[in-house]
C-alpha cells in the first residue's frame, strides 16, 4: 500500500480540483460534483483508510491507475500519448522548482510491441507539469513501477515482466471505474436529465480538460480586463481635479 504521506498528498490534490461551470455538452464532460466523485473512486487505499469504492487491487495497480486518470484529466492527453510516456519524459529544471512532461514519439522496434503513434505533428510537445504530479510520478517510477530491460515506458503491466500497457487495458480501467460510478452515483447517469454523463471514457477526460482550460483562460482574462478598467477609472479620477485647478488658475 502507498505510504500515509503519499495518500495524504493525494487527498489534498483531490480537494484542489477546479469546479466546472454549466455547458451545453455536459454529456461529454464531468459535472461539478461528478468530477471529484470520479477522483474519489480511484483514490488509492492506505493502511489507515480503505477506499471501498476503488475497484482495483490495493497497492501497485491502484496507484498506477490513479496516476493514469490524473494525467488524462490534468493534461488532456490522448491514450497514445499517455502510453508513449517514458521515465525520461519527466524532468525538472536545475533549480528544481519547475517541472516538465515531454510528449513525443519513440523509434520503431523499441520495446516488446509496436509503439503507439501521435495523432499529428502537433502531438510532440512539452507540458508544464504540476509539482504534485511530479512528486507522484517520481514515487511511482522510483519505488513502485515494475522495471523492464526492454523498454522505459512509465506505465507497465502488473503481470509478468512489466510489459507496456495497451489501449485495451486503459479502456478496461475506465470501464471498471464507470461501473462503480454508475452504481454509486446513478443520478449523474440518469436519462431523466439532459446533462447526464453517458459513459465515462478516456475521451471524456480530454473533453473535461479542454473545458477546464478554456474556463481558466476566460477567468484570467476577465480578471485582467476588470483590473484594467479599474486602473483606467482611477487615472481618470486623478485627471479631473487637475483640470479644475488649471481652469481656476487661467481665470485668475
Instruction: Identify any residues that bridge with 103 across adjacent strands, giving them in sequence order.
Output: 125
Average pLDDT rounded to a whole number, residues 89-97: 94
Residue 177 is assigned to a structural domain of this protein? yes
Secondary structure of 169-204 in HEC code, one letter for each residue: HHHHHHHHHHHHHHHHCHHHCCCCCCCCCCCCCHHH
Residue 236 is assigned to a structural domain of this protein? no
Residue 235 is assigned to a structural domain of this protein? no
Instruction: Please check the confidence at residue 227 and state whether its pLDDT lies above 70.
Output: yes
- Which of 67-71, 172-176, 236-240 comes out lowest in average pLDDT? 236-240
For residue 146, the enclosing domain spans 4-218
**Better pLDDT: 34 or 203:** 203
**Better pLDDT: 61 or 225:** 61
43 CB neighbour count, 10 Å cutoff: 19
Residue 232 is assigned to a structural domain of this protein? no
**Better pLDDT: 133 or 209:** 133
Residue 176 is assigned to a structural domain of this protein? yes
Q: Which of 103, 154, 99, 156 is nearest to 132 (CA)?
A: 99
How far apart CA 109 and CA 104 sit, in angstroms, is 16
**Better pLDDT: 91 or 106:** 91
Asked whether the beta carbons of 172 and 162 are under 8 A apart, the reply is no
Instruction: Please check the confidence at residue 214 and state whether its pLDDT lies above 70.
Output: yes
The tens digit of pLDDT for each residue in 15-71 reads: 454 443 343 444 455 655 566 677 789 999 988 889 999 999 878 999 999 999 999
The tens digit of pLDDT for each residue in 132-155 reads: 999 999 999 999 888 887 889 999
How many structural domains comprise the chain? Answer: 1
Angle, helices 60-75/4-15, rounded to nearest 10 degrees: 30
The tens digit of pLDDT for each residue in 106-138 reads: 766 555 566 666 666 656 889 999 999 999 999
Asked whether the beta carbons of 115 and 108 are under 8 A apart, the reply is yes
Average pLDDT, the chain: 78
The per-residue pLDDT for 244 is 45
DSSP 146: P
The per-residue pLDDT for 160 is 72
* Residue 248 pLDDT level (bands cut at 50, 70, 90): very low
35 CB neighbour count, 10 Å cutoff: 20
Residue 240 is assigned to a structural domain of this protein? no
CATH of the domain at 70: 1.10.443
The per-residue pLDDT for 24 is 40
Cβ neighbors of 47 (< 8 A, separation 6 or more) are 1, 4
Residue 150 is assigned to a structural domain of this protein? yes
For 182-197, b/e burial (b = at least 16 CB within 10 A) is eeebeebbeeeeeebb
Residue 178 is assigned to a structural domain of this protein? yes
The per-residue pLDDT for 228 is 74
The per-residue pLDDT for 108 is 60
Average pLDDT rounded to a whole number, residues 98-113: 76
**Residue 60 cell numbers, joined:** 501497485
**Better pLDDT: 210 or 60:** 60
Amino acid at each position: 500500500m502507498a505510504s500515509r504521506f503519499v495518500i495524504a498528498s493525494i487527498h489534498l490534490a483531490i480537494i484542489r480540483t477546479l469546479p466546472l461551470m454549466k455547458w451545453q455538452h455536459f454529456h461529454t464532460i464531468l459535472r461539478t460534483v461528478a468530477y471529484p466523485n470520479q477522483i474519489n473512486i480511484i483514490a488509492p487505499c492506505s493502511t489507515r483508510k480503505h477506499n471501498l469504492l476503488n475497484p482495483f487491487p490495493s497497492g501497485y495497480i491502484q496507484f498506477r491507475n490513479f496516476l493514469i486518470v490524473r494525467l488524462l484529466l490534468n493534461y488532456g492527453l490522448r491514450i497514445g500519448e499517455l502510453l508513449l510516456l517514458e521515465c525520461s519524459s519527466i524532468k525538472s529544471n536545475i533549480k528544481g522548482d519547475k517541472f516538465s512532461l515531454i510528449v513525443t514519439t519513440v523509434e520503431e522496434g523499441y520495446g516488446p510491441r509496436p509503439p503507439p503513434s501521435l495523432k499529428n505533428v502537433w502531438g510532440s510537445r512539452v507540458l508544464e507539469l504540476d509539482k504534485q504530479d511530479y512528486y507522484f510520478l517520481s514515487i511511482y517510477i522510483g519505488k513502485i513501477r515494475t522495471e523492464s530491460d526492454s523498454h522505459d515506458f512509465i506505465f507497465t503491466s502488473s503481470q509478468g515482466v512489466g510489459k507496456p500497457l495497451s489501449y485495451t487495458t486503459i479502456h478496461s480501467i475506465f470501464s471498471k471505474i464507470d461501473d462503480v460510478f454508475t452504481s454509486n452515483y446513478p443520478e449523474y447517469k440518469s436519462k431523466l436529465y439532459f446533462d447526464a454523463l453517458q459513459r465515462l471514457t478516456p475521451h471524456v477526460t480530454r473533453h473535461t480538460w479542454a473545458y477546464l482550460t478554456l474556463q481558466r483562460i476566460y477567468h484570467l482574462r476577465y480578471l485582467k480586463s476588470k483590473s484594467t478598467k479599474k486602473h483606467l477609472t482611477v487615472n481618470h479620477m486623478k485627471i479631473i481635479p487637475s483640470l479644475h485647478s488649471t481652469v481656476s488658475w487661467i481665470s485668475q
